[in-house]
């Protein structure tokens, strides 16, 4: 009997280790009107029964809407605001508890004016409101998530917006509006340029993590665009100081075919729904388009206080469509992984070293992934026919097989010494299951290839003397070396000091 049980257990373990990531449909909900477009989602226990309901806001032409749904998809409550804007009304909201009351900060645009309204959420009555006019801009394109830095008597809200202007020179910018709340009174504090596309906030740190963008386009025979994305830290003070972390900039000429020079797109924070930020930091993704170098993926991981870039990778096993959504997930019972979706494909990456541990085709491509109060993940997908939305959860734990998992079998002891170095360093490694095309490639911070080495089956190290393929010396700075063997890769960082 014990042998039979052991064989069954081994069989079960083998099957589970080779399982794919699967999803279970849990409920669907319908739009109130066919033109409704989801703007923001939040789980909240609307009727105090210990079970979260789903609160959704919608954008529409000259209106916006707040709807409360049960987790069976039934509409429990709906509020509609009519706005004379002659345009689609973008919006965002945040429901929070303060002074034993449930409140909601709701923000929306009327043309180039942003409205901020504080509601008693139970009665949906307005407690206070204010507005800010962006005179130099034509319209508000969208709002980001709203962050509240505390829920005490005096609270600070960070509200991001993306605005555009039309003319002979067109430009688009992101801004952070900071609003204070005291005794149910809203006050405008300050406006912060270049940030507000997305926020992350961890209370144990006194900073708000934010990304932002700005672009300038000239109109002519062949319009040109300069695009810049920024990652920075905003101090959680009444008036924030800004610590820039990473800025990427590039140009595009919209000729036929288009000409690109390090043009950045799809700049996003991957490590959302994260309970382990302090241990594994933040992972950022963007792509650059270049007419000479092609499309380059950039995955970067910083430690929790952004004092160090932990790893960099430009590998991906899924295609070059935009990343639609991402979330942190446990894999094999460990909590240092991030999963992201592109066009019916998903990929899972280890946050410790940047290695890809799994990728597959998937039946869903969620546009949003959020947690409820029980830390359960919900994946939101638009229904065919665009009449509503379907909601999924993970169907079982995520298990990654040894064949997929690069962490344990692909490489061992990839390292360089000395590090930092000048003028040479020795990169050593051992390889499991050598393949003929094994190589080691050195990249700069932009992801551009600097030097390539072919690796033989009995080779365990190479010496790099700080030169490129043309034997020119490269400048001081951070470089990455990547060992590639078949489908497996591993990347490490080194510093050249002169």
19-33, 69-83, 439-453, 461-475: least confident range: 439-453
Q: What is the DSSP letter of 467?
A: B
15-24, 292-301, 352-361: least confident range: 15-24
Q: How far, in Å, CA of 468 to CA of 454, rounded?
A: 15
pLDDT band at 111 (very low <50, low <70, confident <90, very high): confident
- pLDDT of 239 > 60? The answer is yes
- pLDDT of 1 > 60? The answer is no
Q: Which residues pair with 259 in a beta bridge?
A: 253
Q: Dihedral (C-alpha) 425, 428, 434, 436: value to the nearest 10 degrees?
A: 10
Q: Is the dihedral of CA 225, 229, 235, 241 positive or negative?
A: negative
- CA neighbor of 212 nearest in space, from 159, 173, 243, 249: 173
| Number of neighbours of residue 265 by Cβ within 10 angstroms | 16
pLDDT (0 to 100) of residue 471? 92
Question: Quick check: helix, strand or coil at residue 462?
Answer: strand
Q: How far, in Å, CA of 115 to CA of 205, rounded?
A: 29
Q: How far, in Å, CA of 297 to CA of 119, rounded?
A: 43
pLDDT band at 170 (very low <50, low <70, confident <90, very high): confident
pLDDT band at 135 (very low <50, low <70, confident <90, very high): confident
- pLDDT of 5 > 90? The answer is no
pLDDT (0 to 100) of residue 6? 39
Mean pLDDT of 226-236: 96
- pLDDT of 289 > 90? The answer is yes
Q: How far, in Å, CA of 209 to CA of 281, rounded?
A: 11
Q: How far, in Å, CA of 327 to CA of 308, rounded?
A: 22
Mean pLDDT of 417-440: 86
pLDDT (0 to 100) of residue 203? 85
Question: Where does 179-304 have alpha helices with state H?
Answer: 277-280
pLDDT in tens, 376-399: 999 999 998 889 999 999 999 998
Question: Where does 276-367 have alpha helices with state H?
Answer: 277-280
pLDDT (0 to 100) of residue 228? 97
Structure tokens at 490: 């591993």
Mean pLDDT of 123-143: 89
pLDDT band at 84 (very low <50, low <70, confident <90, very high): confident
Q: What is the DSSP letter of 258?
A: -
Identify the residue whose tokens are 């300050």: 190
pLDDT (0 to 100) of residue 460? 87
pLDDT (0 to 100) of residue 153? 63
27-31, 215-219, 482-486: least confident range: 482-486
- pLDDT of 264 > 90? The answer is yes
Mean pLDDT of 210-217: 94
Mean pLDDT of 296-306: 92
Q: Is the dihedral of CA 147, 144, 264, 406 positive or negative?
A: positive
pLDDT (0 to 100) of residue 488? 66
479 Cβ neighbours under 8 A, 6+ residues apart: 442, 443, 444, 445, 450, 493, 494, 495, 496
What does CATH list as the number for 410-496? 2.60.40.10
pLDDT band at 186 (very low <50, low <70, confident <90, very high): very high
- Asked whether 299 and 349 are in contact (CB, 8 A), the reply is yes
pLDDT band at 2 (very low <50, low <70, confident <90, very high): very low
Kindly report the average pLDDT of the chain as a whole number: 88
Q: How far, in Å, CA of 313 to CA of 288, rounded?
A: 13
Mean pLDDT of 75-101: 90
Q: Name the CATH topology of 23-397.
A: Methylamine Dehydrogenase; Chain H (2.130.10)
Q: Where are the domains of the chain?
A: 23-397, 410-496
35-49, 201-215, 375-389, 482-496: least confident range: 482-496
Q: Tell me how far CA of residue 152 lies from CA of 101, 158, 396, 412, 415, in angstroms.
A: 12, 15, 38, 50, 48
- pLDDT of 3 > 50? The answer is no
pLDDT (0 to 100) of residue 8? 40
Q: Which residues pair with 312 in a beta bridge?
A: 300
Structure tokens at 372: 């409820």
Q: How far, in Å, CA of 347 to CA of 285, rounded?
A: 13
pLDDT (0 to 100) of residue 7? 39
Rg (CA), the chain: 25
Whether 410-496 and 23-397 are alike in CATH topology: the answer is: no
- pLDDT of 410 > 90? The answer is no
pLDDT (0 to 100) of residue 10? 36
pLDDT (0 to 100) of residue 154? 81
Q: Dihedral (C-alpha) 463, 464, 465, 467: value to the nearest 10 degrees?
A: 150
- Asked whether 196 and 175 are in contact (CB, 8 A), the reply is yes
Q: How far, in Å, CA of 90 to CA of 250, rounded?
A: 28
pLDDT (0 to 100) of residue 87? 80
Q: How far, in Å, CA of 423 to CA of 6, rounded?
A: 56
| H or E element that contains 369 | strand 368-371
* pTM exceeds cut of 0.95: no
- pLDDT of 353 > 60? The answer is yes
């Amino acid at each position: 009997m014990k042998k039979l049980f052991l064989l069954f257990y081994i069989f079960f373990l083998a099957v589970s280790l080779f399982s794919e990531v699967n999803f279970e449909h849990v409920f669907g909900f319908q739009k109130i009107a066919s033109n409704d477009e989801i703007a923001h989602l939040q789980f909240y226990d609307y009727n105090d029964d210990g079970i979260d309901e789903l609160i959704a806001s919608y954008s529409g032409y000259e209106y916006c809407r707040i709807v409360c749904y049960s987790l069976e998809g039934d509409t429990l409550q709906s509020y509609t605001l009519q706005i004379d804007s002659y345009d689609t009304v973008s919006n965002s909201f945040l429901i929070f508890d303060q002074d034993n009351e449930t409140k909601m900060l709701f923000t929306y645009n009327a043309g180039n004016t942003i409205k901020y309204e504080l509601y008693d959420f139970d009665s949906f009555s307005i407690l206070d409101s204010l507005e800010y006019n962006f005179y130099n801009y034509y319209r508000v394109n969208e709002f980001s998530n709203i962050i509240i830095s505390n829920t005490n008597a005096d609270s600070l809200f960070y509200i991001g917006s993306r605005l555009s202007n039309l003319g002979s020179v067109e430009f688009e910018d992101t801004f952070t509006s900071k609003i204070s709340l005291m005794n149910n009174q809203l006050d405008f504090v300050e406006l912060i340029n270049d940030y507000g596309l997305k926020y992350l906030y961890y209370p144990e740190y006194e900073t708000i993590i934010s990304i932002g963008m700005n672009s300038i386009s000239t109109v002519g025979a062949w319009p040109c665009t300069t695009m810049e994305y920024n990652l920075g830290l905003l101090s959680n003070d009444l008036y924030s100081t800004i610590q820039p972390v990473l800025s990427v900039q590039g140009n595009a000429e919209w000729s036929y075919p288009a000409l690109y020079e390090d043009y950045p797109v799809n700049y996003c924070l991957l490590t959302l729904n994260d309970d382990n930020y302090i241990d594994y930091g933040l992972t950022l993704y963007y792509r650059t388009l270049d007419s000479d170098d092609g499309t380059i993926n950039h995955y970067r991981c910083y430690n929790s206080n952004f004092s160090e870039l932990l790893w960099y990778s430009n590998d991906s096993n899924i295609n070059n469509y935009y990343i639609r959504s991402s979330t942190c997930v446990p894999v094999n019972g460990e909590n240092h992984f991030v999963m992201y979706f592109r066009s019916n494909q998903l990929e899972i990456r280890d946050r410790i070293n940047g290695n890809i541990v799994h990728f597959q085709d998937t039946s869903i491509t969620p546009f949003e992934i959020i947690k409820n109060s029980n830390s359960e993940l919900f994946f939101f997908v638009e229904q065919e026919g665009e009449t509503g939305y379907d909601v999924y959860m993970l169907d079982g734990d995520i298990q990654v097989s040894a064949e997929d998992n690069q962490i344990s079998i692909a490489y061992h002891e990839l390292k360089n010494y000395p590090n930092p170095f000048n003028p040479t360093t020795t990169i050593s490694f051992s390889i499991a299951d050598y393949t003929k095309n094994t190589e080691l490639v050195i990249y700069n911070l932009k992801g551009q290839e600097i030097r390539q080495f072919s690796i033989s089956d009995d080779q365990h190290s190479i010496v790099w003397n700080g030169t490129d393929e043309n034997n020119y010396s490269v400048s001081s700075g951070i470089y990455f070396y990547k060992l590639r063997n078949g489908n497996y890769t591993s990347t490490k960082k080194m510093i050249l000091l002169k």
